[in-house]
Structure 1
Amino acid sequence: MFFLRALCLIGALAYQVVSGNVIGVDLGGEFMKVSVVQPGAPLEIVTNFASKRKTETIVTFYKGERFYASDALSYVNRVPASAFAKTKTTLGRDTDHPLVKRMTDEYLLQTDPQFNTTRSGIYYDMASQGPSGGPETYTPEEITAMILGYARDITKAFGGSTVRDAVLTVPSYWTQLERRAYLDAAELAGLKVLALVEENTAAALNFGMDRVHENATTVLFYNMGATATQVTVATYSSYRKGNKKSDKPVGQFEVVGKGLDARLGSHSLDLVLADYLAREFNQQLSKDGSKDVRAVPRAMSKLRAQANKVKEVLSANQEIPVFIPALHEDRDFSTHVSRSQLENLAERFFARAARPVEDALRAAGLAREDIHAVELIGGGVRTPKLQESLRAFFGEEMELGVHLNGDEAMAVGAAFRAANLSTAFKVRTVGMTDISPFAVDLELTDLSTAGDAADAWSKSSLLYDRNAKLDLKKKISFTHAADIRVALSYPAPGQGVDAVNPQLPEGTRAPIANYEVTGIQAFADELAEKGLGAPKVVLHFVQDASGLTVLSRAEATLEEEILVVPEEKEEEKKEVEEKKEEGEEEEKGEEAEAAAAAEGEKKEEKKKAEPTRQTKVHRRALTVTENNAAFALRPMSATELKDSRDKLAELQRLDEYRAAKAAAKNNLESYVLQLRAKFNDNDDLALVCTEEKREELVAEAYRLEDWLYDEGYDEEAAVYDEKRAALKQEMDKVLYRAKELKARPKAVEATRAILAQSRELLAKWAEERPWVTEEERAEAAEKLDKVEAWLEEKVAEQAKLQAHEDPAFAAAQVDAKLKGASAFVSKLAKKPKPAPPKVEKSEEKSDNSTASEESEVQAEDLDAAAEDASAGEAAAGGEEEEEQENSNKEEL
């Protein structure tokens, strides 16, 4: 049975523990997908504010405002230097990283990244579109935090409640530094990350959620995204859970191999096409080739966007016309592109398609014939030529499955994982074992001795081999008497079959983390006088579920052998003393002395037990401190996290301020338009409003509309709210009169009908319900009369008023006045009829009473006879039972 690292959701959610939502976020190079699990609801893909299931991962600042997704995309061509896209690819990397350099050179990053030696990381320098109106800088962690915060916001709008717990997907080729940078971004976004899960592992979990494989089945997942390709080989099986009568199969899977190409993504096809279109346009722009549109960032941005559309269309069509108006220097561009042209242009791209598959099979120790199924996921696998290349590798008999939603499988799997890890849900189980494709080295040195000193103490070893299982703990033990430095790093990739880290991505920095372990020296000094030697130091490591290698704790121990003399047991001592006392009382003379002497000898024998050697363990918990200050690249410090958190909080405050102002302005504008529409469409308003008042209100509406587009264009939210409230107050009076114009006559008519009906009932009750007293009927009639008198008085007052004047009474007042009288009549109607009085027996009995007495006597006689009969039957029954019992005894 596989080593089960975690129990994850595979079916319907069951046994909700506490209320709460969890999300799975799949943040890709171009798009983000979010899946949410809510109590009492099925797992769903979150739709954004534009009702789309995938969201563009871009943030743009324009005139001090921050825009996301499609809104941000619409401003890219206007302010390319203030747009931030694909920033996830710069997390935990520097400007010299091959992928970052490539993306910069090919204009894939709208804003060129720079390196901050003080911060030890990349930052973006934005010109003048930020909230301050001047130059501003943002780190990749801050931009990514903005996008993750947007994911949280759209989930809240979708599900109606705030989310905090999340599982985030990461590429399998991400190193520890990149993963920690992503965790820093999530912390800045206010998310509690339950775990990181690799993209293909999340898809494999989604694949296994409704499948239970009785026999071992090996599935290969081929995932081509926008920037990279990842391949994962997973073996599915099952085990039985429960008792013999009701055991059920539980699915599980184990990742056995991974392959990757961090530079093989579908965006490479966009670049190939964009370069081809640029060369075509250059020929139209200048025959001598003196002008090159590839040196114009804005024009290349348009060409890359068009190339992406062409690629998608050619996945289903053989040819597509291309037209871009005013591409450069007011010149339009038009041409045609065919699928065969694209395949010829990207020949080297398709030739590399199967290499990650070979790497994954080699890591798993399998051949292509050992693969039972292939699943294609990711947005880049739709290209027909790519599928043709994979089919050529596996053979025509192998089906390239698309049973999963290639765009959403990773987000769904991450949400399942989040539901399992959150305390909000109790879920069904599936076993999952993941691995890390990278090996990790360990080096130990003295903390106080220079590393290059000739006599420096040091030890090194391979801590975790490649393809080691995640969530795997290890202990390293050694003898040492000084504080130490623990350094974790990636071994060099190497070449050939015996290479330690053959899949380590190009440009990866070797250092992972540095730890200082202190307290060893002090512990050794404290016990030096005992001559016990150097302490034994034990370091506890874990490669956790998120793929992070961590020194979790450390301890030191010293063993000391000591002689232990057994103490006399209290019971034995008490027994001897009691016997001695008894002897003193009962025996006298020489016999008593002899007895006492014998007891004394026994006592001495018990006291002469031999001392034993035992081992005493002195134990000390050591202090472990992570110190990566010397790294050229490092995670954010606590101070840097606080500064970034404050910066993002201020941006959020400005966003909310602008949103409130925009909402107030929009509400005022909408109300102005509604007011004019009501006077045009509602004829009743003309009856309850004078011409002068109508003209006054309409004129005020026009004036406010002009004001909104003039001096009131940029006012505070309170100003807009105040003007809307003033206009609404006057308009509400008109609308109130119009409403009462219809409601009041209906209320009067209904009340008169109820009064008449109530009086008819009171008149009938004198004969039909005599138990309703005359006083009660009189009181009810009085209440009805008062209501009628008030009503007629108000009707008379209203008749003297014009329709545009405030009404004398409202329909609601009529209902309120009638309520008391109506309730009193209803109470009388429910009054129950009294029970008839009891009739007392007369001393002189009539013939009927005599007959009745005779009947009673007969009845008593019958009762007595029945009782005698019952007693006889009971006696007979007892005799029968006794006979039966005797018979049973005889049979026994």
Structure 2
Amino acid sequence: MRLAIWILGVLACANAAMMAVDLGSQFFKIAIIKPGTGLEIAFNEQSKRKTPSAVAFTDEGERLFGDAAVSYATKYPQRSFLDVRTLLGACSSSAEDPAKCIRTNATVHIGEEEHQYPTEVLAAMILAQAKKFASASLDSSLDIVRDSVITVPSWFGQVQRAALVDASKLAGLNPPVLINTNTATALKMLFDSKEKSLNQTVLIYDVGSSSASASVLQISKTQGKTDEVLTVDALAHAWDTELSGRALDEILANYVAEKFDETRAGSDSVKNIPRVMARLRKEVQRLREVLSANTEAVFNVGSLHDDQDFRLQISRSEFESLAGHLFDRVKIPVEKALKDANVSTKDLGAVVPYGGVSRIPLIQVRLLETLGLESLTKSVNTDEGAVFGALWYGASLSSLVKSRKVDVVEHLPDSISVAVGRDNSSKKVEPQLSRLFTSGSKTPQRKTINFKRMGDFNLTLFADNQEPPIAEYMIGNVASVIGKMKDNSTVIPPKISITFNLDKAGLFEIYKAEATIEESVWVEKVVNATESATPTQSSGETQSEETSESVSPEETADAEPTSNNTKVERTMQTVVHRVNLSKSLDRNANALASRRMSPSDLARAKQILYKLDEKDRKRKERSDALNSLESSIFKLREELYNEELEKVSTEEERDSIRAKLMEEEDWIFDADKATTQDFTSKEKKLREMVGRLNFRLSELSSRPEAVENLKRAVEYSRTASADIRQLHEEKNSPELPKIEAFINELEETSKFLEDSLASQSGKTDMDDPAFRSADLDSRTQALTKGLTRLTKLRLPTPAPSPSEDDTPGRVEGGESSAPTEESASETGEPTPEEKEDL
């Protein structure tokens, strides 16, 4: 209800839509916003509110998503990826340099071939599914979804966030807005609050499938000049990737496997069988969820291995004992987040558990013990709070949707510095170090540093206390600014300005790099002898890539006369030369940014996705054609038992069609190599066979009325056209040929009807009709339209007889105005004699 009230604040200003994706490691949820409807969850193809973040490949190369991929993984785990998000930014040690971490691709064996897919491609597949579900939830009149907001865990670094941006581009989305999951959850809390004024410190504790995180946030609601301003200030984030739902499931799966091994004395442990363990991991997840609500649960799986069923009862206390070391880690991110935010427990206004795993009772108990509290705030939907909060954030940033003002502030966990290398002309070796952003700096922001270099140089971005560095760049084109000088015999180093950008997503980039150099030059100007020789200052800097501009006059030389009225003045001016520098990422360096996809990598990835999409499209077309053929066979067989159809067909005809249906049904079972065209062609032929009988039945019903209508039309048209012809003959009308043409058409139609009825008289209801009722209907309409046109033909109108008032030459006052012969000739009108001749 509260959400519906806030929805009233969303006004449509464009025919567009936006989606938010809560991209979890196990499930993803989608919320959409569109003009006039507000916020809503987008359902998947199974009408579910959340979808597994999974993709799998069959041995034939078909892609499976969601629940289908999860089910497939229990049989073929080697071709299944159940946690695509965690794969983003993954790397492995280089064989040549163990200290260097290089990109890791996902390997898939399809048949005899091995395929290497960048992890961004797998993530793009998931996001494309989200886009598909969102588009399906929108009206067809709307454009497809392009704008998106995606939640990310707070522990996502530069590599993972950049990889997610690249994956979004591959999925056909605009660069997304990224927001931390806990920040989005706090924003949802703020929107749900009924308080008119609010200023509160909250702790969000999220335990998901792959990690646990704690965030301390300051949320406030204030009244602006025209509307409320909602602010979420993320004071600190902390996390623990060891405590997770997947880690708990692994403990349960190993425990169940050990118990199952005890029933198979002397056999190898099923722990070494990937297929069995994949199935166990899926089943124990349900077991864990049951134990969150009940003190006991039963694990019962048929044919777990070697056709052996297995049943095991486990209590909540046993589970808590097995995973005790993980439950003890609940306090780790909580204590760190409070310390980093410089906040004590008594300052907290609310502690909110979030995420599906946070429902485990012992996790909530440990959380209360750590904070010394008696209760938790459970007003936020632990499944959908983040996706709605993310969508509100996106709406506040979009120009397509009007929403209340939202201000989200994030802080850098570590300081960011830059090391600027020396150029070749420098005697110094050590790079210049400069602090760009200090720990706790707000995002987004920009920072510009200035220094001098004579030639090209490199620079390195790095975060304190982190390895490897963020990125290494080569800055070039410095010498070009020196080449623009008129006198470069004595040159001072150009001034270099580098602007760094830290965006809302926490990503760093070089926003702008330029070099400037000044020189004094003599400038000559021809002026009138009487004019002032004072020069004017340049109008300012331009935005072109390479510019030279006058800055200020320094000195004026003696003028040299050129004529009586003019002279040449020489003025010393300072000219600024400006050049945009090139900046290229060093992809061979051991830096985080080196793991990003290059432009050529992105181009290849697009081709991979295009080919996979085309295969899926053709596969779907074939599947739809096959399903349509099977459905048609079933429906057509049922139609043959229609009593009405028996009136217009013989038993032999129906048996022949039934035999053909059976033949095609048997053919389907061996049609593994059949094409889409094969299915559609066979379906068309079968429909034509039964359609022939349906046509007879339809004609049997419609023929009498069609014949009667045409007979009446012929009779009426014959009578009416005869009357019309008589009227026009009396007036010697020029329209008679049209009337005769209609009468000829009428007689031809009458003969057609007679011949058709004669042909039909020799046929039974079980024969194909001699003519179609539709042909008679069209002729009836033609006669009706033709007769309507005849009735609109105009009869000739006789010329009116002259009256006294119309006598030529009579004008008011009794005077004649008839022209003389001379005047008539001059005007070009015929004289009375000429009229007689005429």
TM-score by length of 2: 0.77
* 2: CA distance, partners of 1:751 / 1:41: 54
The residue aligned with 1:766 is none
1:757-788 Cα deviation digits (max 9, x unpaired): 999x9xxxxxxxxxxxxxxxx99999999999
Q: Structure 1 residues 755, 279: CA separation in 2 closer, same or farther (over 3 Å shift)?
A: same
Q: Structure 1 residues 429, 249: CA separation in 2 closer, same or farther (over 3 Å shift)?
A: closer
* 2: CA distance, partners of 1:40 / 1:717: 41
* 1: CA distance, partners of 2:788 / 2:373: 85
The residue aligned with 2:216 is 233
* 1: CA distance, partners of 2:276 / 2:499: 56
* 1: CA distance, partners of 2:645 / 2:412: 74
Matched, 1:391 2:368: yes
Residue 138 of structure 1: how far off its partner (Å): 2.4
Residue 624 of structure 1: how far off its partner (Å): 1.8
Residue 630 of structure 1: how far off its partner (Å): 2.2
The residue aligned with 1:363 is 340
Contact 2:468 2:590 in 1 (8 A): no
1:472-495 Cα deviation digits (max 9, x unpaired): 1111122333322110122216xx
Amino acid paired to 2:197: E
1:223 to 192, 202, 206: 206
| Structure 1 residue matching 2:421: 3-state secondary structure | strand
Matched, 1:518 2:476: yes
1:88 to 85, 89, 98: 85
The residue aligned with 2:662 is 702
| Structure 2 residue matching 1:432: 3-state secondary structure | strand
Residue 342 of structure 1: how far off its partner (Å): 1.6
Matched, 1:177 2:137: no
* 2: CA distance, partners of 1:652 / 1:447: 49
Amino acid paired to 2:475: V
Contact 2:208 2:356 in 1 (8 A): yes
Q: Structure 1 residues 213, 799: CA separation in 2 closer, same or farther (over 3 Å shift)?
A: same
1:37 to 28, 33, 53: 33
The residue aligned with 2:769 is 807
1:402-801 pair list within 5 angstroms? 402-403=379-380, 405-421=381-397, 424-448=400-424, 455-492=428-465, 509-524=467-482, 529=488, 533-559=492-518, 617-631=576-590, 634-680=595-641, 682-710=642-670, 712-745=671-704, 798-801=760-763
Q: Structure 1 residues 697, 328: CA separation in 2 closer, same or farther (over 3 Å shift)?
A: closer
The structure carrying a bigger helix percent of its residues is 1
1:20-43 Cα deviation digits (max 9, x unpaired): 333222222111222233344433
* 1: CA distance, partners of 2:708 / 2:717: 14
Amino acid paired to 1:430: V
Amino acid paired to 2:107: D
| Structure 2 residue matching 1:433: 3-state secondary structure | strand
* 2: CA distance, partners of 1:558 / 1:208: 52
Matched, 1:14 2:11: yes
Amino acid paired to 1:520: V
The residue aligned with 1:163 is 145
Structure 1 gaps, min length 5: 1-8, 98-114, 494-508, 575-606, 762-777, 831-892
1:71 to 68, 71, 76: 68
Amino acid paired to 1:218: T
Amino acid paired to 1:94: C
The residue aligned with 1:264 is 243
Residues 177-186 or 519-528, more deviating: 519-528
Contact 2:12 2:400 in 1 (8 A): no
Q: CA RMSD in A?
A: 4.1
Residue 460 of structure 1: how far off its partner (Å): 1.3
The residue aligned with 2:303 is 326
Residue 640 of structure 1: how far off its partner (Å): 2.4
* 1: CA distance, partners of 2:686 / 2:354: 57
Contact 1:200 1:221 in 2 (8 A): yes
Amino acid paired to 1:269: L
* 2: CA distance, partners of 1:255 / 1:10: 25
* 2: CA distance, partners of 1:116 / 1:653: 40
The residue aligned with 2:562 is none
Q: Structure 1 residues 566, 366: CA separation in 2 closer, same or farther (over 3 Å shift)?
A: farther
Matched, 1:205 2:187: yes
Residue 443 of structure 1: how far off its partner (Å): 0.9
Residues 523-532 or 393-402, more deviating: 523-532
Contact 1:63 1:133 in 2 (8 A): no
| Structure 2 residue matching 1:71: 3-state secondary structure | helix
Structure 2 gaps, min length 5: 1-5, 534-565, 721-738, 793-838
Residue 309 of structure 1: how far off its partner (Å): 0.7
1:823-842 pair list within 5 angstroms? none
Contact 1:25 1:32 in 2 (8 A): yes
* 1: CA distance, partners of 2:315 / 2:674: 54
* 2: CA distance, partners of 1:571 / 1:381: 88
Q: Structure 1 residues 565, 30: CA separation in 2 closer, same or farther (over 3 Å shift)?
A: same
* 1: CA distance, partners of 2:608 / 2:532: 76
* 2: CA distance, partners of 1:570 / 1:715: 95
* 2: CA distance, partners of 1:820 / 1:216: 80
Contact 1:441 1:462 in 2 (8 A): yes
Contact 1:492 1:510 in 2 (8 A): no
Contact 1:48 1:158 in 2 (8 A): no
* 1: CA distance, partners of 2:296 / 2:658: 58
Q: Percent identity?
A: 31
| Structure 1 residue matching 2:504: 3-state secondary structure | coil
1:266-301 Cα deviation digits (max 9, x unpaired): 222212222222232233333xx8843322222222
| Structure 2 residue matching 1:299: 3-state secondary structure | helix
| Structure 1 residue matching 2:511: 3-state secondary structure | strand
Q: Structure 1 residues 448, 529: CA separation in 2 closer, same or farther (over 3 Å shift)?
A: closer
Residue 563 of structure 1: how far off its partner (Å): 9.8
* 2: CA distance, partners of 1:445 / 1:327: 62
Q: Structure 1 residues 248, 804: CA separation in 2 closer, same or farther (over 3 Å shift)?
A: same
Contact 2:89 2:103 in 1 (8 A): yes
Contact 1:10 1:428 in 2 (8 A): no
1:401-426 Cα deviation digits (max 9, x unpaired): 232x3222333333444445555444
TM-score by length of 1: 0.73
Residue 815 of structure 1: how far off its partner (Å): 4.5
Q: Structure 1 residues 232, 791: CA separation in 2 closer, same or farther (over 3 Å shift)?
A: farther
The residue aligned with 1:884 is none
Contact 1:515 1:625 in 2 (8 A): yes
Residue 715 of structure 1: how far off its partner (Å): 0.9
Amino acid paired to 1:23: M
1:276-425 pair list within 5 angstroms? 276-286=255-265, 291-396=268-373, 398-403=375-380, 405-421=381-397, 424-425=400-401
Residue 356 of structure 1: how far off its partner (Å): 1.6
The residue aligned with 2:825 is none
The residue aligned with 1:274 is 253
Amino acid paired to 1:54: K
Amino acid paired to 1:707: W
The residue aligned with 1:126 is 108
Residue 12 of structure 1: how far off its partner (Å): 4.3
Q: Structure 1 residues 534, 10: CA separation in 2 closer, same or farther (over 3 Å shift)?
A: farther
* 2: CA distance, partners of 1:709 / 1:715: 11
Residue 548 of structure 1: how far off its partner (Å): 0.6
1:571-600 Cα deviation digits (max 9, x unpaired): 9679xxxxxxxxxxxxxxxxxxxxxxxxxx
The residue aligned with 1:859 is none
Residue 385 of structure 1: how far off its partner (Å): 1.6
Contact 2:420 2:460 in 1 (8 A): yes
